[in-house]
Amino acid sequence: MVEWTDFERATIQDIFSKMDYEVVGPAALSRCLIVYPWTQRYFGNFGNLYNAAAIMGNPMVAKHGTTILHGLERGVKNMDNIKETYAELSVLHSDKLHVDPDNFKLLSDCLTIVVAAQLGKAFTGEVQAAFQKFMAVVVSSLGRQYH
């Protein structure tokens, strides 16, 4: 089991409780699709992903970005049980969606950048360490059912 300090717990709870999922989720997923264009291959049914403006204005991208953050919230609410929390989603991404698990890390990095930009000075090194630790545990859990 992953051990969390009081600071890490409080920081993760605080960041997610103040986050607007409908802004941050779409921003993070859009960035992922723009910065790492090969990730677009999983969203062939999402319509126009032709350029950055199209990606940022795409309502399906926005909706899915929000869905991903709601998925992350489940981890926030189950910090002592993250592996089990994501077992089913891991199977879904592996067996059904065939998403290469390397992409979880890419999305995680884009989310970190969006959160950093929003928090500004409040995103200290310690806050970043807590946030990235949480995302690393989620990413590893999502990759767990791949075989």
Contacts to ligand ZNH by CB under 6 A: 39, 42-43, 64, 67-68, 71-72, 89, 92-93, 97, 99, 103-104, 107-108, 139, 142
Q: Identify residue 56 by its one-letter amino acid code.
A: M
Give least dist CB 121 to ligand ZNH, A: 26
Query: Whole-number minimum distance, CB 80 to ligand ZNH, in Å?
Result: 18
Helix, strand, coil shares of the chain, percent, nearest 5, are: 80, 0, 20
- Residues 20, 46, 63, CA angle at the centre, nearest 5°? 15
| Least Å from the CB of residue 135 to ligand ZNH | 7
- CA contacts within 13 A on the Cβ side of 28: 31
Cα separation of 56 and 49, whole Å?
A: 9
CA angle 108, 114, 116 (to 5 degrees): 100
Indicate the residue whose CB is closest to ligand ZNH: 71
Rounded to the nearest whole angstrom, what is the least distance from the CB of residue 40 to ligand ZNH in the complex?
A: 8
